[in-house]
Amino acid sequence: MTYMFSKRSVAHGIQNVSRRHVLKGAVATGSLVLAAPLARGAHAAAAPTYATGAGDMPHGVVVDPRVFVSIAPDGTVSIVAHRAEMGTGVRTSLPMIVADELEADWARVHVAQAEGNEAKYGNQDTDGSRSTRHYLVPMRQIGAAARTMLEEAAAQKWNVKIEEVKAANHEVVHGASGRRLGYGDLAADAAKLPVPQIKTLRLKDESEFRYIGKGVPFVDLRDITTGRAIYGADVRLPLMKYAVLVRPPVVGGKLVSFDAKDALAVPGVEQVIEAQGWPWPSKFQPLGGVAVIARNTGAAIKGRDALKVVWDDGPNAKYDSDAYRAELEASVRKPGLAVRNEGDVDAALKSADKVVVGEYYIPHLAHVSMEPPAAVADVTDSKAEIWAPLQSPGGTQEDIAKTLGLPLDAVTVHMTLLGGGFGRKSKCDYAIEAALLSRKLKAPVRVQWTREDNIRHDFYHTVSTERIEAGVDKSGKVIAWRHRSAAPSFMSSFQPNVKNESAIELGMGFVDLPFAIPNIRCENPEAAAHTRIGWFRAVSNVPHAFAVQTMVAEIAHALNRDPKDMLLELIGPDRIVDVGKSTKDWWNYGEPFESYPVDAGRLRRVTELAAEKGEWGRKLPAGHGLGIAAHRSFVSYIATVVEVAVDDKGNIAIPRVDTAVDCGTYVNPERIRSQMEGAAIMGISLAKHGEITFKNGRAQQSNFDDFPVARIDEAPAVINVHIAPGQNRPPGGIGEPGVPPFAPAFCNAIFAATGKRIRRLPIGSQLA
Amino acid sequence: MINLTVNGEAHRWDGDPSLPLLWYLRDESGLTGTKYGCGQALCGACTVHVGGQAVRACITAMQDVADQNVVTIEGLHPTGDHPVQKAWRELQVPQCGFCQTGQIMQAAMLLQDNPKPTDEQIREQMAGNICRCGCYTRIEAAIRLAATGV
């Protein structure tokens, strides 16, 4: 199948998919800014088989084997991993793609980690479930270019035509004469050759793939299991000082005074100093406060406990989650900004035989990656070096340079492994904190966020109230769908007075509703932020999918229909859903519509696959129930069937989960399975437990006792992942899209088991 | 002065006796395989073995490990091939991997105490170790595999 590039998607306006870049543009000019064109121009000219939004990301794509591949005389092939590894396996999957096209033997491949440098490597923002989607073709081209150069070197050496030689399994062979040369023997000559034009490259046929679609064990496995893997929290430099900070408890607050006497009396504490902060909102700049510097982290934490600090709480001192929830509920009961409008919803609702109404509340969440933010910085007057777990190393390089007033090339950002990210580590405030302290103390400094810091000062997942009214006619057909979503936008962390969700948030499972309903209106009532909002794995898809997929089951119940049949009926006939027709500035995950349309047929098939594999409709013991949900996000299609067993005390067990995935072309199926397994666990966490509440502007939770996450004794007994064939389609996202359908499928299963409808997350004690 | 043994080597600490063992290992001894996750024994990322028991290093003071034998992930097996480590690799358990050294130390002690645990015992014994990436079904399977021989 061929995917042609079209200008149509550009006409839709917002093509810049990088959350970081959109926001940068917005802050600088007050409007959305289109990114630079494709780096080096080469990628666009190469006419890949389908277009992606990769070139619209900051610094675009670099397709250059000299940047990504090097071969030692002993034949060891080094391939650069330029994205951030936080558990998706990307540090393995992207080099594996290069190795496949290069015909390299994986056993002789070494993965070299890039530093943060987008001018050299192209975009490095590891979020938005983009890595495979944006880099499958470029990585193949890089591998094919290097392979071609090795073949050319061998052909020249043997004085034969390049067509007569073939690279295979780490050597080049001349079939006619049987001569062969290993990659190590050819590397020096190959390196002197010009890099071939991308459009001249021969890419492998799918049948020739050694690793793509099959996978290899991920490269960090041994180091992780032996404790040798180095995360940002593990970097240690000679003469390094250890810092923890106390930050304003209310966003927008600032330091008035502090008394360090008792803190300085703690053994091991060396200094207590003010830490520079920025007024809210300030993108990713630090909150400021007071830093305790010590000979080790334990002493710094103890010193901080002894510190006395006076704060001015500022304008958000009244933020109260109970009051705010009432505000959001009032908002969704009135009309709001119409962001998608088809047909006449008001008239259709009026004429409907039955109107099913649901209101859903999904609270703030904290990311709580197992590694809390940490960073090491070594800054002098002329240069800065950073070691940290960062999802946006290139953006961090820019932010550090700007903050310190250094030229970009004076800032080196080393990429360590990330102990989880989930969106939190796209924001580099902790690295800036370390850099500022290092400059002040003229020594390497390590900043450790405690778990309490991590939960009290997060860039939180938004808080949302969703209201859906569905009108059904006499024949039982859904004829009207009005969905109002009120939630503070993450744009509020970048500019003041933001009241509406951004196009990015609206595009996440809200305006892109793929249902065959003649009258649809999506409205976005205003909601102001009173804390730092950021993106959390799957972002606004979490509340939107929860509302939409719960509503489907509510309609089914109201009409006495099977929920799976109801879902399939609403998805409707196989077709491309032209969301852009009725939606201004529709954001399609930054991807061109032609390569990545909203395909109702794919959503149907993945729903059927989950239902079939999950044995939908099977006889269950008393107290058990099945729930289903399906959702397109990050241009992948996921459906989940969950079986629950609820006892009379309200304890929930999960005997089985079946998740079906259509992500188009897949590269590393084993890591896709692990991402879907993890998405189920994160779905359990947010459905059962996850809630950050505010009182007097302060987050009321601080550690895993009051912000619990799912533990092993709550895990499903079995999670089956079913990957749909899709090797003829462009690749979609995997890191995030497993999360959104889980909570609604789970809560629909609880309804089936108990008759108790969950409309407010978390479930908490609602079943007790 | 506190004397202790870490992974078979003699260590001495003459600083604050209330310092958590976690920070002694990570910041004073460079043994960063033991992770900080919560500081309150809520997540298990810092699990080490002290005197043949799995303990949380984040709430264990240095004075409490005086004259004790401490084993960290770095000392679990000389070549990193403890049956639990091998099972973890066989099933590709980790995602980000940050909690996994604590999980492995907990699992190794579980199997030492109870070489043939039931699924329920595995869940009960491992419930103190959080994995935010959600590798739980594989952790469970890897412990079963380690128990039956990799």
Cβ within 8 Å of B, A 363-382: 368-372
Q: Kindly tell me if the per-residue pLDDT of A25 is higher than 70.
A: no
Answer yes or no: do A310 and A328 share one domain. no
Inter-chain CB proximity A372 and B36 less than 8 Å: yes
Cβ-based contacts of B39 with chain A (< 8 Å): 301, 450-452, 703
Where a domain ends, among B42, B75, B108? B75
State the average pLDDT over residues A576-599: 95
Predicted local confidence at residue A48, as pLDDT: 52
Q: Kindly tell me if the per-residue pLDDT of A11 is higher than 60.
A: no
Inter-chain CB proximity A713 and B124 less than 8 Å: yes
Inter-chain CB proximity B32 and A268 less than 8 Å: no
B28 to chain A: nearest residue by CA?
A296
Q: Quickly state the pLDDT bin for A728 (edges 50, 70, 90).
A: confident
Answer yes or no: do A386 and A483 share one domain. no
Say which DSSP state A747 is in: H
| A702 within 8 A of A456, measured Cβ to Cβ | yes
Answer yes or no: do B71 and B87 share one domain. no
pLDDT digits (tens, 9 = 90+) for A697-724: 999 999 999 999 999 999 999 999 999 9
Inter-chain CB proximity B80 and A222 less than 8 Å: yes
Q: Looking at A1-94, which runs of residues are DSSP E strands?
A: 69-71, 77-81
The SS3 of residue B21 is helix
Predicted local confidence at residue A21, as pLDDT: 44
State the average pLDDT over residues A447-473: 98
Answer yes or no: do B63 and B93 share one domain. no
Inter-chain CB proximity B43 and A704 less than 8 Å: yes
Give A60's contacts (C-beta < 8 A, 6+ positions apart): A35, A36, A37, A38, A39, A40, A43, A54, A122, A123
A92 to chain B: nearest residue by CA?
B95
Distance from C-alpha of A706 to C-alpha of B150, rounded to nearest angstrom: 38
| B99 within 8 A of B132, measured Cβ to Cβ | yes
Answer yes or no: do A431 and A555 share one domain. no
Asked if the C-beta of B13 comes within 8 angstroms of chain A's C-beta atoms, the answer is no
Query: CATH number, domain at A88?
Result: 3.30.365
Predicted local confidence at residue A584, as pLDDT: 87
Cβ within 8 Å of A, B 21-80: 22-24, 26-28, 30-40, 42-43, 45, 72-74, 80
Inter-chain CB proximity A682 and B132 less than 8 Å: yes
Distance from C-alpha of A627 to C-alpha of A440, rounded to nearest angstrom: 56
Q: Kindly tell me if the per-residue pLDDT of A544 is higher than 70.
A: yes
Domain interval for residue A412: 232-315+373-448
Q: Which amino acid is at A208?
A: E
Q: Quickly state the pLDDT bin for A413 (edges 50, 70, 90).
A: very high
Predicted local confidence at residue A460, as pLDDT: 98
Distance from C-alpha of B46 to C-alpha of A234, rounded to nearest angstrom: 13
pLDDT digits (tens, 9 = 90+) for A50-69: 999 999 999 999 999 999 99
A584 in a domain, yes or no?
yes
Asked if the C-beta of A345 comes within 8 angstroms of chain B's C-beta atoms, the answer is no
Query: CATH number, domain at B36?
Result: 3.10.20.30
Inter-chain CB proximity B132 and A370 less than 8 Å: yes
Inter-chain CB proximity A703 and B39 less than 8 Å: yes
Query: How far from chain centre, in Å, is Cα A179?
Result: 48
Inter-chain CB proximity A87 and B36 less than 8 Å: no
From the list B20, B33, B38, the residue facing A451 with the nearest CB is B38
- Rounded to the nearest angstrom, the minimum Cα separation between B88 and chain A is 7
From the list A218, A451, A719, the residue facing B137 with the nearest CB is A719
Instruction: Select from B79, B110, B140 the least CA-distant residue to A225.
Output: B79
Predicted local confidence at residue A37, as pLDDT: 33
State the average pLDDT over residues A155-161: 98
A422 to chain B: nearest residue by CA?
B133
**Sequential DSSP letters for B55-91:** EEGGG-BGGGGTT-EEE-GGGSSTTS--HHHHHHHHT
Distance from C-alpha of A110 to C-alpha of A80, rounded to nearest angstrom: 9
Where a domain ends, among B11, B46, B75? B75
Where a domain ends, among B75, B94, B116? B75
Answer yes or no: do B50 and B97 share one domain. no
Asked if the C-beta of A701 comes within 8 angstroms of chain B's C-beta atoms, the answer is no
- Rounded to the nearest angstrom, the minimum Cα separation between B140 and chain A is 8
Predicted local confidence at residue A486, as pLDDT: 98
Q: Kindly tell me if the per-residue pLDDT of A86 is higher than 70.
A: yes
A368 to chain B: nearest residue by CA?
B132
Cβ-based contacts of B124 with chain A (< 8 Å): 713
Answer yes or no: do B95 and B58 share one domain. no
Answer yes or no: do B104 and B123 share one domain. yes
Answer yes or no: do A490 and A638 share one domain. yes
Answer yes or no: do B56 and B29 share one domain. yes
From the list A418, A674, A712, the residue facing B92 with the nearest CB is A674
Cβ-based contacts of B27 with chain A (< 8 Å): 236, 242, 295-298
- Rounded to the nearest angstrom, the minimum Cα separation between B62 and chain A is 11
Query: CATH number, domain at B101?
Result: 1.10.150.120
Answer yes or no: do B65 and B97 share one domain. no
| B5 within 8 A of B11, measured Cβ to Cβ | yes
Cβ within 8 Å of A, B 106-145: 122-124, 126-140
State the average pLDDT over residues A445-458: 98
A190 in a domain, yes or no?
no
State the average pLDDT over residues A582-608: 96
Inter-chain CB proximity B16 and A677 less than 8 Å: no
Inter-chain CB proximity A234 and B32 less than 8 Å: yes
- Rounded to the nearest angstrom, the minimum Cα separation between A389 and chain B is 11
Where a domain ends, among A448, A471, A497? A448
Domain interval for residue B125: 83-148
Answer yes or no: do A310 and A326 share one domain. no
- Rounded to the nearest angstrom, the minimum Cα separation between A227 and chain B is 4
Interface test with A, best of B31, B84, B137, B145 (most A CBs within 10 A): B137
Distance from C-alpha of A288 to C-alpha of A461, rounded to nearest angstrom: 22
From the list B28, B37, B127, the residue facing A713 with the nearest CB is B127
A19 in a domain, yes or no?
no
Any bridge partners for residue A80, and if so which?
A: A112
Q: How much of chain A exceeds pLDDT 70, in percent?
A: 94
Give A708's contacts (C-beta < 8 A, 6+ positions apart): A685, A689
Answer yes or no: do A390 and A258 share one domain. yes
* A297's tokens: 């982290």
Across the A:B interface, residue pairs with CB atoms under 8 Å apart total 200
Instruction: Select from A36, A43, A28, A57 the least CA-distant residue to A125.
Output: A57
Q: Kindly tell me if the per-residue pLDDT of A24 is higher than 60.
A: no
B95 to chain A: nearest residue by CA?
A87
Asked if the C-beta of A677 comes within 8 angstroms of chain B's C-beta atoms, the answer is yes
From the list A227, A419, A450, the residue facing B96 with the nearest CB is A419
Say which DSSP state A460 is in: B
Answer yes or no: do A241 and A215 share one domain. no
Answer yes or no: do B60 and B108 share one domain. no
State the average pLDDT over residues A480-502: 98
Cβ within 8 Å of B, A 381-420: 417-420
- Rounded to the nearest angstrom, the minimum Cα separation between A343 and chain B is 43
Query: How far from chain centre, in Å, is Cα B102?
Result: 4
Distance from C-alpha of A386 to C-alpha of A374, rounded to nearest angstrom: 11
Inter-chain CB proximity B136 and A267 less than 8 Å: no
Angle at B74 between CA B72 and CA B75, to 5 degrees: 70
B34 to chain A: nearest residue by CA?
A227
The SS3 of residue A332 is helix
Q: Quickly state the pLDDT bin for B150 (edges 50, 70, 90).
A: low
Predicted local confidence at residue A325, as pLDDT: 98
> What is the total count of domains within chain A?
3
Answer yes or no: do A527 and A629 share one domain. yes
- The pLDDT mean for chain B works out to 98
| A522 within 8 A of A513, measured Cβ to Cβ | yes
Inter-chain CB proximity B30 and A711 less than 8 Å: no
Helices A669-688, A742-754: crossing angle, 10 deg rounding:
60
Answer yes or no: do A517 and A568 share one domain. yes
Answer yes or no: do B63 and B125 share one domain. no
A288: how many CB neighbours lie within 10 A of its CB?
Answer: 20
> What is the total count of domains within chain B?
2
pLDDT digits (tens, 9 = 90+) for B27-68: 999 999 999 999 999 999 999 999 999 999 999 999 999 999
Answer yes or no: do B92 and B114 share one domain. yes
Inter-chain CB proximity B37 and A713 less than 8 Å: no
Predicted local confidence at residue A726, as pLDDT: 87
Asked if the C-beta of A306 comes within 8 angstroms of chain B's C-beta atoms, the answer is no
Q: Model pTM?
A: 0.95
Answer yes or no: do B96 and B68 share one domain. no
State the average pLDDT over residues A332-357: 98
From the list A89, A225, A709, the residue facing B132 with the nearest CB is A709
Query: CATH number, domain at A409?
Result: 3.30.365.10
Distance from C-alpha of A377 to C-alpha of A241, rounded to nearest angstrom: 10
Q: Quickly state the pLDDT bin for A42 (edges 50, 70, 90).
A: very low
Predicted local confidence at residue B149, as pLDDT: 81
Answer yes or no: do A490 and A407 share one domain. no
Distance from C-alpha of A738 to C-alpha of A635, rounded to nearest angstrom: 12
* A578's tokens: 């032209």
Inter-chain CB proximity A226 and B92 less than 8 Å: no
pLDDT digits (tens, 9 = 90+) for A259-317: 999 999 999 999 999 999 999 999 999 999 999 999 999 999 999 999 999 999 999 99
Answer yes or no: do B100 and B41 share one domain. no
Q: Looking at A344-394, which runs of residues are DSSP E strands?
A: 354-362, 374-379, 384-388
Q: Kindly tell me if the per-residue pLDDT of A443 is higher than 90.
A: yes
Asked if the C-beta of A112 comes within 8 angstroms of chain B's C-beta atoms, the answer is no
A607 in a domain, yes or no?
yes
Answer yes or no: do A571 and A491 share one domain. yes
Answer yes or no: do A355 and A378 share one domain. no
- Rounded to the nearest angstrom, the minimum Cα separation between A670 and chain B is 9
Instruction: Select from A154, A168, A152, A173 the least CA-distant residue to A105.
Output: A168
Question: B109: phi > 0 → left, psi -120 to 50 → alpha, else beta; which?
Answer: alpha
Q: Which residues of A565-600 are buried (b: 16+ CB within 10 A; e: fewer)?
A: ebbbbbbbeeeebebbebbebbbbbbbbbbbbbbbb
Q: Kindly tell me if the per-residue pLDDT of A151 is higher than 80.
A: yes
Inter-chain CB proximity A299 and B23 less than 8 Å: yes
Distance from C-alpha of A215 to C-alpha of A217, rounded to nearest angstrom: 7
